[in-house]
């Protein structure tokens, strides 16, 4: 399975593509960021972000997209930009019929480090080790995107089984 992880942000949107399967190590396909100037109008920034995400989807052809679920922060302006950037990635993937899953930061940290309270340095260290990279991905947004992709790669089979079981458990549910 090939997964595109998206760490949404208006100034820097981290993107990471990995490939792997259960029981086998994941492999890095590509990692980077789409940057937009903070001085630009928000509409222009979102259009630039969309072009960047669309380019990654065209070039890397993922099977699924994992986006970080936005949680409230003290700075409402930051939350709005992050949510808007995440929505751009979700819409771009949905246009192609790709499954999109949102993962919370603590889910991602727990999947990659074993602790939902890990700091950015621990996440970057584990991403570097798990993907057998010579150097840590930079900036942190790129490492976070890879962590999202790893989380999804490992959680997707269990989530699919859960959805199938819940559908079968409901009256009239289909298998």
The pLDDT assigned to 168 comes to 66
Name all domains of the chain by residue range, CATH numbers in brackets: 2-169 (3.30.420.10)
Q: What is the pTM of this model?
A: 0.90
**Can 144 be counted among the known catalytic residues?**
no
Query: In whole angstroms, what is the distance from residue 29 CA to residue 3 CA?
Result: 9
Compute φ and ψ for 161, nearest 5 degrees.
Answer: -65, -40
What is the tens place of the pLDDT at every residue in 1-58?
A: 999 999 999 999 999 999 998 778 999 999 999 999 999 999 999 999 999 999 999 9
Please pick, among 68, 107, 119, 144, the residue that the annotation labels catalytic.
68
- Tell me which residue has tokens 């947004």: 141
**Can 19 be counted among the known catalytic residues?**
no
Q: In which element (H, E) is residue 167 found?
A: helix 140-169
pLDDT bracket for residue 172 (50, 70, 90): low
The pLDDT assigned to 175 comes to 41
What average pLDDT does the structure give for the chain? 92
**Can 135 be counted among the known catalytic residues?**
no
Report the candidate in 56, 50, 55, 45 with the shortest Cα–Cα distance to residue 4: 56
Buried b (16+ CB within 10 A) or exposed e, 66-100: bbbbbeeeeeeeeeebbbbbbebbbebbeeeebbb
Mean pLDDT of 85-92: 98
């Amino acid at each position: 399975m090939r997964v595109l992880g998206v760490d949404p942000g208006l100034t820097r949107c981290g993107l990471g593509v990995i490939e792997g399967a259960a029981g086998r190590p994941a492999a890095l396909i590509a990692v980077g960021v789409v940057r937009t100037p903070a001085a630009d109008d928000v509409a222009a920034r979102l259009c630039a972000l969309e072009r960047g995400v669309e380019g990654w989807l065209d070039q890397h052809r993922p099977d699924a997209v994992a986006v970080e679920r936005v949680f409230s922060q003290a700075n409402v302006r930051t939350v709005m930009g992050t949510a808007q950037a995440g929505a751009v990635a979700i819409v771009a993937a949905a246009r192609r019929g790709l499954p999109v899953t949102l993962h919370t930061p603590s889910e991602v940290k727990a999947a990659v480090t074993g602790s939902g309270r890990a700091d950015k340095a621990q996440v970057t260290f584990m991403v570097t080790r798990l993907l057998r990279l010579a150097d840590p991905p930079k900036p942190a947004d790129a490492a976070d995107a890879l962590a999202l992709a790893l989380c999804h790669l490992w959680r997707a089979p269990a989530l699919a089984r859960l959805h199938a079981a819940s559908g079968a458990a409901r009256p009239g549910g289909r298998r």
